[in-house]
Structure 1
Amino acid sequence: MVRVLADASSFVDDDGDGCGEVLWAAAWIIGEYRVEQKDAHRVIGYLIQPSIKFLPADTIAVFLQSAIKVFGYWAAEVAAEWNDTAHLNAARRMADELSGALEPFTAHADVEVQERAANIVALLAFLCADLAAHTPQPVSTPSPRAELDPDSLLLLQPLFSMPDSRPLALDAQTSVPPLMGIDLDAWIVPPPAPARRVVDNENYDEPSTRKNGSRWFTNL
């Protein structure tokens, strides 16, 4: 999927139309399977490249969402192995690049793109402020790992992941007593009354007006 995003011809072809649906799917897969992305910086660069502004709005929204998903997973990994010398500048640089690339989309004409970009930029502003205020610890100072890394690096990953659901017992419903005074079989909204059959008067012949299979009229 990363190769699809790396191919510039996928965005605009000879007819002026890009492979919007293919790019939508590729970006979605990258965001959902962010664990498989070994080079987060390169992948994020493809997701926020300037060419995405020519894509349909729904595809742009998926690109932005996948970019913050990949960044959030990378930030959580960095926090688990935090080292001020190796990770602080890299985290600041990636957060600044991502925020700067998404800032123009906060004024996008499409509401969904605008909303996603604004939310992501706001989260990154908080993270960037925390990284800027972080004071590197001296190497000679022994400290627990939890006190070394900026806490904001762990903010994003839980927003895009859910814990595994536990299986539900087959008899779980039987342990829940029915509520008193509530008829679960009663209609919440009564069904509409059956429609009455409407007879078309113009094409309807009264039995008294027929004789020998043909219509006859009396003189008035």
Structure 2
Amino acid sequence: MTEVILIRHGQANSGARSEADYDRLSPLGVQQAAWLADHLRETGEVHRVVSGTLQRQVDTAKAIATVGALDHALDPRLNEIDYFTLAETLKRSRGVPFPTTPEEFAAHVPQVLDIWRSGVADPDHESYDAFRARVLAVLQEAAEGGPGAALVTSTGVIAMLIAVALGLASDAKAQLFLRIRNTSVHRFEFLGDSVFLTQFGATPHLDRADRHTSRTYF
């Protein structure tokens, strides 16, 4: 089996109301990425970095690649679900407004994922099954490329892969979406066509006492 590391990007602009406004690292997100880059350089276990094409993913990956003098490739299959478009669909179809607090967001996520799975989203929007297929494909290709791959991505991708690996139901997948910290590290292994989760949500670079307040979900 070959291990593949998945990393969530650093904290983005959590107060945004659109994808374009959200898609940039906050000052803390930049710092989180720098701390993780230093940690991964010290462990020496990452030999290549692949990220999605979203700016928050790219900037996190660049921090890791630069500190480790590693190759950095882009793969749009690691991009996040289009949450803001799905949120607009939810608002139109069920009258649910976009959340403004963490508590409202926690209630919003399961509803967004529900309309996505049920096929209510616009016909030209990526389907739930297509999203699942692309994230499994990029993980398997990274495993086939040999050990040492770090894939920088987003919550939806990581939650989907964990749900597949553990055989989780839809409700549990929505809860996972809310419990994946910025720059957290997750490890997967492939055996044949089966994928296994071997580590969830590690933040060794943030576990020092003086960095506990830098552990974020949003």
TM-score (norm 2): 0.29
TM-score (norm 1): 0.29
Q: Which one has the bigger strand percentage? A: 2
Choose between structure 1 and 2 for higher RCO, CA contacts under 8 A separated by at least 6 residues.
Answer: 2
Choose 1 or 2 for highest CA Rg: 1
